[in-house]
Amino acid sequence: QKEVEQDPGPLSVPEGAIVSLNCTYSNSAFQYFMWYRQYSRKGPELLMYTYSSGNKEDGRFTAQVDKSSKYISLFIRDSQPSDSATYLCAMSDHKLVFGAGTILRVKS
């Protein structure tokens, strides 16, 4: 089993839709959970980080962590064409372990 699993997509949604992105993981030592956005040939840009289980909201973005299920989610409300990018989940023990990334396309 891979340490972090993420559906690579692509996920294509109309503008204004609610987007749900997910990752599962196997290592119960992970304590910090992050979502990064990456544009083509650019570095990952931190969107949100969460410690342990729970929810965190920042504008149109909500991150959820369920440690009992080893499952994390990122929700994007009122999605915009500018949200089109690759979204990477990452989790940390002493280093970041990334998912494969989900390609999101928001159509206007």
Which of helix, strand or coil describes residue 96? strand
Q: Does the footprint of another protein cover residue 107 (CB under 8 A)?
A: no
Of 40, 41, 48, 59, residue with least CA distance to 90: 48
Q: Does the footprint of another protein cover residue 98 (CB under 8 A)?
A: yes
Of 89, 87, 54, residue with least CA distance to 68: 54
Least CB distance from residue 49 to another protein, whole Å? 4
CA-CA distance, 1 to 25, in Å (whole number)? 9
Q: Does the footprint of another protein cover residue 46 (CB under 8 A)?
A: yes
Q: Does the footprint of another protein cover residue 92 (CB under 8 A)?
A: yes
Q: Does the footprint of another protein cover residue 32 (CB under 8 A)?
A: yes
Beta bridge partners of 14: 107
Q: Does the footprint of another protein cover residue 73 (CB under 8 A)?
A: no
Residues that bind another protein (CB under 8 A): 31-32, 34, 36, 41-46, 49, 88, 90, 92-101
